[in-house]
Amino acid sequence: MWLWFSKLGSPKWFYELSGKWLPWLIAAMVVFMTVGLVWGLLFLPPDYQQGFTSRILIVHVAVAGTSLAFFPLLLVSGTITLVWRMKLADMVAKNAAILGAWFSFITLATGSLWGSVMWGTWWEWTDSRLVSMLFQLFLLLGVISLRSALEDSETAAKACALLSIVGCINVVIIKYSVEWWNTLHQVSSPVSMDTQSPNGPEFWIATLIMIVAVYLFLSVSLILSTRNEILERERKSQWVQDLVSKS
Amino acid sequence: MLSARQLFCERDDRVLFQNLDFDLAEGQVLQVQGSNGSGKTTLLRILCGLNDSYAGSIRWYGQEIEEQAAAFFASLLYIGHRVGVSKVLTPIENLRWSCSLKQAVNDDQIMSALKEVGLRGFEESPCYTLSAGQQQRVSLARLLISPAKLWVLDEPFTTLDTKGVAQLESILQDQAQAGGAVMVTTHHQLTIPELSLLSLG
Amino acid sequence: MLSARQLFCERDDRVLFQNLDFDLAEGQVLQVQGSNGSGKTTLLRILCGLNDSYAGSIRWYGQEIEEQAAAFFASLLYIGHRVGVSKVLTPIENLRWSCSLKQAVNDDQIMSALKEVGLRGFEESPCYTLSAGQQQRVSLARLLISPAKLWVLDEPFTTLDTKGVAQLESILQDQAQAGGAVMVTTHHQLTIPELSLLSLG
Amino acid sequence: MLDAIQFSSFAEFIDMGGYGFNVWSVYGLFAIFVAVNLVLPLRKKQKILRQLKRRMMLEEEIKSEDS
Amino acid sequence: MEAMSEKQTTTSAAFLATLKRDLLIAFKKKNDIVNPFMFFIIVVSLFPIGISPESDRLTEIAAGVIWISVLLASMLSMDNLYRADFEDGSLEQLLLSPHPLFFLVLAKNISHWLVSGLPVVLVSPLLAYMLALPEEAYLILVLSLLLGTPIMSLIGSIAVALTVGLGSRGLILAVITLPMSVPVLIFGTLAVQSTLNSQSPLGYLSLMLVMLSVSVSLAPLASAAALKISVN
Amino acid sequence: MEAMSEKQTTTSAAFLATLKRDLLIAFKKKNDIVNPFMFFIIVVSLFPIGISPESDRLTEIAAGVIWISVLLASMLSMDNLYRADFEDGSLEQLLLSPHPLFFLVLAKNISHWLVSGLPVVLVSPLLAYMLALPEEAYLILVLSLLLGTPIMSLIGSIAVALTVGLGSRGLILAVITLPMSVPVLIFGTLAVQSTLNSQSPLGYLSLMLVMLSVSVSLAPLASAAALKISVN
Ligand code: HEM
Ligand SMILES: Nc1ncnc2c1ncn2[C@@H]1O[C@H](COP(=O)(O)OP(=O)(O)OP(=O)(O)O)[C@@H](O)[C@H]1O
Ligand SMILES: Nc1ncnc2c1ncn2[C@@H]1O[C@H](COP(=O)(O)OP(=O)(O)OP(=O)(O)O)[C@@H](O)[C@H]1O
Ligand SMILES: [Mg+2]
Ligand SMILES: [Mg+2]
């Protein structure tokens, strides 16, 4: 276990292993993405109520669901950074924060595009999922800006790890308090996200495929940028030098 | 009392030192030498536990420092580039706090220490009205009060005038003779009999 | 070129100096001496116009400085306790700006000056990664580039290692031999033939 | 298979039953999002490799100058 | 040398010395006490100007405006907490003390709250009056602020500790901590509003009390860790 | 030595060098650009939570909330303007340059506004939407902010220059400058509100234009004088 752990912590080992995985992950991502998108765009039957806008939903739901994974991810990598001082965890965390901000933003954007059809408004403060996603984005941006503000990379790693842990606890509290707050304002709210429309099984299968595709995309993108980070931070080590002179 | 083994430190891909071994015994003054940027400040901060980006082992009376941080801190006095003197407070108020983190002191001790370092008449002036060298002297007054066994001083001679330099040297010597130990960086040539040297880079 | 007459300065009711007269001629290095808190820094800042709480007259080639501030500033180079090196910028970027306030420079000049002060390899590192002495060296590189006739340096030797001290001394000497003048405070013993002394307090 | 496609003409496909703007914006955004987060890391890798190579050369230069 | 261990201070003495020192500095600088207070008053009084001077309008927004202004004042005043100490090296001395950092950090937090949080809370009824908040809500407003401001100080302390080495901190601090104080804002304003709707605010207040006790026991630990990280 | 006067830079070169340097520092730090912007967005989004999420209510307060938040963001970002330079001694170098300080200070002000004022103005329509401000007012909102933020930067610059030697500045700055920017706030919000009431906002806008030109020509002088005082 320990051996495995410290081996995984070695950037070189990760770089080599991820190099082997990448082609497979990319292939799987391309397949799922293509199937999901083509099916979603061409074959998915229109919803009896929402018409073709249900096509938005498969993307939105996939991205939204995936973006909930980021704070747990940061929590784990932050703990590893602080407790075991594994450099790799921080390299992942750095890129995860940025990617997480992207995901949150896309969730907000696709959600708004969907809301503008369903609710007639792009933004609605009375919906708790919107508001808590907005604050998740803010917290992630806080982590990112802390990292860019701190000059020393080791300080930045630990500081961001700590902030991510505190932030993760906070995201949960914010989520619940916003939900609670929101129930008091429901009266005047135009519509709520929970007015589930009866979608057919086909819709759910398409969504499921998209979710898998988006998770694959997440891992591919994260691995790619982590590999870059490894190259940059380990640039003085012999194996990177060899790699560079070979390329 | 303090021994370091196989210390290794690298910053920004530049190895500052590696395989560094040294021992500091009671009654010894160890001057850390080296050109600019050779890692003197970094070394001192590592020893005090203010910087943990190193590899190797540092022992205090034979035991790893992390395992007995409180005991180690109780017998350590560190004065860095930034001397730990608040500009709004007067010298007395400054010393009252910084000493009381480690030991119980009374105002008489503080007053006589301030007098000794030549700050007679400035005891009640806020520190922002003191010159660079005078602020340095406030922090040096702590040396006179402190019962700490290990002093770690980073360039304590900068901005001191010649009289101040001579006085500080004799303070260091007293500490060594009383059975304490001193670790100091400076580009000055020290003339203390107990002196030993450690060269970096 | 620079002459002060009947300078008087008092801070916090303590008279730092009074009836202070001195002349600084071309080819001269004037070292201001004095114990801590005797007013060296204050004097230098007064001469540069950074402090105007004084009485007396300061003339530049026979004319009061206030009447020809721009001309005086154009031929003045001041480096104080705080060396004027931005920590976010790299040495090159720092010099590019601080030199271009006075004269047109190109990157080659800057690069060779940096090399000369021993910062080869650090040209592109942000200054916060440099040690105390290395930051000091960045500001000293300005001396190599500057065509200013009058240099006013406040404790430029602190944090420099022995090689750095020797180099700076020879730079000061070159300036004096080229017909410029230097006014410098330090607690070091300088060994420049052109040296003259001014004692405070 | 082909008859399961929901559209009989390209125009209809673009129109998405009147919600063309929203649907295509979402898919467009999603495409940009995916592309950016794949292409940027890939391009960055090339940049890093180039930079590292340059720096290695520079260091050798310094070394040969020193000796 | 032998007398050393006997002369060593107890943790509570170090706690008190630190508390006393920070209060002393604050009273010497005065600005640390007056500014959050002034800032609060000024920001609150921008709203009648910027939005509407009519008292009906003001009543509607009063609780929210006061809470948000308190939030801002307390976030922005945090900046002073460790900075001066970091710059002059006192922070290093603090970290090198043999006492548990938890208590020393707590002492600093308490002194900071006494100096910058408490005055703001005490003046809030006056501003509530100016914003035409109905009188029955004053007590709950003050109570909720009394519970809420220390929470924000404790959270803010972590962020300041993380950013203490930075040149420009004011905004980044707010950017990090404002999102985290949303729950406090929500419960605080809900408490006031429920009083206005003649409901019991006790539920909200007790929730805030829970949040306060959790943050008192955890936040100083995080701050202490953060300080160690920053000084590195 | 003889070549000296020939090699001396022109004032415009020094102006450009200073502008370039400050922009360079900002782009290196990134935070100077992103933080005012983030702060603005976060503060604005506290209001729906603290006051009311209903869009009718929000419409009423939208213009005021946006203006006040911009004011706060721009005041608080001022802190960076001269501080780092003061601390590392660059400010002394600036003061000792042979060129008129007016232009060098102006260069610093311009770079600061480009970096911290402009982004905030550009994102304001988005927030206006989120606060349910009617669409017809967007253009005037942006215009009034475009005129107003530089005024506030220029005024703020004087205050920063005066307080640059102080340890804790964030709040004192706001305390000094917020009252001074009340006229800007009044005309800015009036311009937006008159658009909403279908009146012409041009009067207000041109008043702001006058204020802007006066402050561009006078404020840098005052800032330069203030800097000299502070460095003393
Ligand atoms: C925490 C993040 C979010 C998650 C997990 C999430 C998840 C979902 C799910 C599963 C649905 C499908 C409900 C259905 O079948 O009708 C949905 C619908 C929707 N989402 Fe989200 N979403 C999130 C955030 C957002 C955001 C930030 C927005 C807007 C900016 C948004 C706007 C919408 C809208 C308008 C609908 C359709 C509601 C309806 O059917 O009436 N969502 N979301
Ligand atoms: N801001 C100030 N307000 C009041 N008095 C001051 C101020 N700054 C300095 N002084 C006083 O002026 C005197 C001279 O200070 P100055 O910094 O010029 O000394 P110095 O000769 O440079 O000393 P050092 O060798 O320590 O650098 C000191 O005694 C100090 O108390
Ligand atoms: N925050 C940092 N990040 C990266 N590198 C750093 C950092 N601080 C210092 N260094 C590097 O570490 C080296 C040693 O710095 P240190 O301050 O220990 O030197 P020093 O021996 O004390 O020098 P001086 O005599 O100038 O004080 C320097 O080369 C510097 O470039
Ligand atoms: Mg050093
Ligand atoms: Mg001095």
User: Which residues of A fall within a CB distance of 8 Å from B46?
Assistant: none
Q: Token pair 């931005």 is at which residue? A: C86
CA dist list (Å): D5 to A38, A45, A55, C196, D10 = 10, 8, 14, 96, 11
pLDDT confidence band for A198 (50 / 70 / 90): low
Does the pLDDT at position C62 exceed 90?
no
* Interchain CB distance below 8 Å, A145 and F42: no
Percentage of residues in chain C with pLDDT exceeding 70?
100
Nearest to F79 by CA among E81, E157, E69, E167: E167
| Interface list for A 121-140 with E (CB within 8 A) | 135, 138-139
- Minimum distance, in Å, between the CA of residue B40 and any CA atom of chain E: 15
Q: Which amino acid is at A116?
A: S
Quote the minimal CA–CA distance from A23 to chain C in Å: 37
Q: Give the dihedral of Cα atoms C166, C169, C174, C175; nearest 10 deg.
A: 150
User: Is residue D1 exposed (0-12), middle (13-18) or buried (19+ Cβ within 10 Å)?
Assistant: exposed
> Closest partner residue to B53 among A154, A235, A236, by Cβ?
A154
Q: Please tell me the distance from the alpha carbon of residue A65 to that of residue A104, in angstroms, as a whole number.
A: 10
**Residue C83 contacts by C-beta under 8 Å, 6 or more apart in sequence?**
C135, C136, C138, C139, F88, F89
Q: Check pLDDT > 60 for residue B59.
A: yes
Q: Which of A104, A122, A125 to mutate to test the interface with F (most CBs of F within 10 A)?
A: A125
pLDDT at A188: 44
pLDDT, one tens digit per residue, over E109-120 is 999 999 989 999
CB neighbour class for E109 (10 Å; exposed up to 12, middle 13-18, buried from 19): buried
> How far apart are alpha carbons E126 and E44 in whole angstroms?
11
* Tens of pLDDT, residues F73-102: 988 888 888 888 888 888 888 888 888 899
**Interface contact B31, partner C, CB < 8 A:** no
Residue-wise pLDDT tens digits, A24-79: 999 999 999 998 888 877 776 666 566 666 778 888 889 999 999 999 999 999 99
Instruction: Determine the pLDDT at residue E114.
Output: 93
Three-class DSSP category at B25? coil
Alpha carbon of A229 to ligand 2 centroid (Å): 49
Q: Structure tokens of C22?
A: 């001195």
Question: Which chains, if any, share at least 3 CB pairs under 8 A with chain A?
Answer: B, C, D, E, F
User: How far is the first Cα of chain A from the last one, in angstroms, to the nearest whole number?
Assistant: 35
Pocket test for ligand 2, best of B117, B123, B129, B162 (most atoms within 8 A of CB): B129
| Residues of chain E contacting residue A166, judged by C-beta atoms under 8 Å apart | 155, 158, 180, 222
Confidence check: pLDDT of D6 > 70: no
Domain of A124, in residue numbers: 32-186+198-246
Assign residue C6 a region (left: φ > 0; alpha: ψ between -120 and 50; beta: otherwise): left
Read off φ and ψ for residue F201, nearest 5 degrees. Answer: -90, 0
Best residue among A193, A197, A202 to mutate for probing ligand 1, ranked by most atoms within 8 Å of CB: A193
Tell me the CA distances in angstroms from A31 to A22, A25, A212, B26, D1, one per residue in order: 14, 10, 11, 71, 18
> Hey, is the C-beta of A151 within 8 angstroms of any chain C C-beta?
yes
Per DSSP, the three-state class of E196 is helix
The answer to whether C20 and C31 are in contact (CB under 8 A) is no
Ligand 2 residue neighbourhood (C-beta within 6 Å): B 128-134, 159; C 11-12, 14, 16, 34, 36-42
Taking each helix axis from N to C end, the angle separating A201-233 and A54-67, rounded to the nearest 10 degrees, works out to: 40
Burial of F146 (0-12, 13-18, 19+ CB in 10 A): middle
Average pLDDT, whole number, for chain A? 83
The pLDDT score that the predictor gives to residue A141 is 93
Nearest ligand, CA B127: 2
- Nearest CA distance, F88 vs chain C (angstrom): 5
Close Cβ partners of E108 (under 8 Å, ≥ 6 residues apart): E18, E19, E22, E81, E82, E157
The Cα of E81 is separated from the nearest Cα of chain A by a number of Å equal to 18
Q: Per DSSP, what are the bridge partners of residue B78? A: B152
- The complex's ipTM? 0.87
Most ligand 3 atoms within 8 A of CB, residue of C131, C140, C160 to mutate: C131
Among B171, B176, B154, B125, which Cα is nearest to B47's?
A: B154
Which residues is C22 bridged to in the sheet?
A: C4
Amino acid at B7: L
CA–CA distances in Å: residue E175 to residues E69, E119, F37, F47, F160: 15, 24, 10, 15, 21
Residue among B116, B122, B55 at smallest CA distance from B85: B122
Contact status of A236 with chain B (Cβ, < 8 Å): yes
- The residue of chain A with its CA nearest to that of B54 is A154
- Residue E182, token pair as written in the block: 């949303």
Residue F5 pLDDT greater than 50, yes or no? no
- A91: Cα within 13 Å, side-chain hemisphere: 23
Give yes or no for residue C132 CB within 6 A of ligand 3. Answer: yes
State the average pLDDT over residues B153-177: 91
Cα(B36) to centroid(ligand 3), Å: 8
Nearest C-alpha to atom 14 of ligand 2 is from which residue? C39
| Nearest-5° Cα angle at F45, F44 to F48 | 105
Which residues of chain A have a CB within 8 Å of the CB of D48? 228, 231-232
Give F40's Cβ-side CA count (13 Å radius).
28
Say if residue A154's pLDDT is above 90: no
Contact F36, F73 (CB under 8 A): yes
Neighbours of D51 (CB within 10 A): 14
Cβ of A194 less than 6 Å from ligand 3: no
Residue B105 DSSP symbol: -
**Cα of B17 from ligand 4 centre, angstroms:** 14
The reported pLDDT for the residue numbered E141 is 94
CA distances from C199 to C17, C38, D10, F101 (A): 10, 9, 93, 34
The closest residue, in CA terms, to atom 5 on ligand 2 is: B129
pLDDT in tens, C149-181: 999 999 899 888 888 999 999 999 999 999 999
- Ligand 2, residue C38: give the atom nearest the CA: 21
- What tokens were used for E34? 């007056």
* The two three-digit tokens of residue F183, written as one number: 């006229």
**pLDDT reported for residue A187:** 47
| Contact call for A and C: 3+ CB–CB distances under 8 Å | yes
For residue A115, tell me if it sits in a domain.
yes
Place of tokens 């309008």: E57
The Cβ-side half-sphere exposure at C29, using a 13 Å CA radius, reads 23
Ligand 1 environment, Cβ below 6 A: A 57, 60-61, 64-65, 68, 107-108, 111-112, 114-115, 118, 129-130, 133, 191, 193, 195-197, 199
* pLDDT: which is higher, B13 or A130: A130
Q: With touching defined as 3+ CB pairs under 8 A, do chains A and D touch?
A: yes
Q: What is the per-residue DSSP string for chain C?
A: -EEEEEEEEEETTEEEEEEEEEEE-TT-EEEEE--TTSSHHHHHHHHHTS----EEEEEETTEEGGGGHHHHHHTEEEE-SS----SSS-HHHHHHHHHHTTB---HHHHHHHHHHTT-TT-TTS-GGGS-HHHHHHHHHHHHHH---SEEEEESTTTT--HHHHHHHHHHHHHHHHTT-EEEEE-SS----TTEEEEE--
**Which of chain F's residues have a Cβ under 8 Å away from the Cβ of C148?**
4
Q: Using the atom order of ligand 2, give the atom closest to the CA of residue C34.
A: 21
**How far away, in angstroms, is B64 Cα from ligand 2 center?**
44
For residues F50-59, give the mean pLDDT. Answer: 87
**Mean of per-residue pLDDT scores for chain B:** 89
| Digit-coded pLDDT (tens) for C34-49 | 888 888 999 999 998 8
Q: Decide: D and B in contact? Rule: 3+ Cβ pairs under 8 Å.
A: no
User: What length is written for chain E?
Assistant: 232
Q: Which residues of E touch A181 (CB under 8 A)?
A: 186, 190
* Beta-carbon contacts of residue D12 (< 8 Å; ≥ 6 apart): none
Chain D residues whose CB is inside 8 A of the A51 CB are: 16-19
| Residue E182 sits at the chain A interface (C-beta within 8 Å) | yes
Closest CA to F140 of F212, F182, F183, F199: F199
For B176-201, what is the mean pLDDT?
88
CA of C85 vs chain F CAs: smallest distance (Å): 6
Interface B:E, Cβ pairs < 8 A: 106
Range of the domain at F59: 2-231
- The alpha carbon of residue E186 and the mean position of all alpha carbons in its chain are separated, in whole angstroms, by 17
Contact A145 F45 (CB under 8 A): no
Ligand 3 midpoint to CA B39 (Å): 5
Q: How many domains does chain E have?
A: 1
C-beta of residue A157 within 8 angstroms of C-beta of residue A86: no
Of E64, E71, E171, the CB nearest to F39: E171
Residue C19 has pLDDT above 70, yes or no: yes
User: Is the distance from the beta carbon of residue B41 to the nearest atom of ligand 3 less than 6 Å?
Assistant: yes
Minimal Cα distance from A181: which residue of F?
F49
Listing DSSP states for A98-118 in one string gives HHHHHHHHHHHHHHHHHHHHH
Q: How far is C113 from chain A (nearest CA, A)?
A: 26
Question: What top-level class would CATH report for the domain B1-75+149-201?
Answer: alpha beta
d(CA B138, CA E18) in angstroms, rounded, equals 19
Q: Whose CA is nearest to atom 3 of ligand 2?
A: B129
The residue whose two tokens read 């976060």 is: F42
Which residue among C12, C33, C184 is best mutated to probe the pocket of ligand 2, counting the most ligand atoms within 8 A of its Cβ? C12
Q: What pLDDT is stored for residue C67 in this prediction?
A: 86
Taking residue C129's Cβ as centre, other Cβ atoms within 10 Å add up to 17
Mean pLDDT of E8-16: 83
The protein residue whose alpha carbon is closest to atom 39 in ligand 1 is: A193
For chain F, list the contacting chains (3+ Cβ pairs, <8 Å): A, C, E
Task: Tell me which residue has tokens 């390329």.
Answer: A247
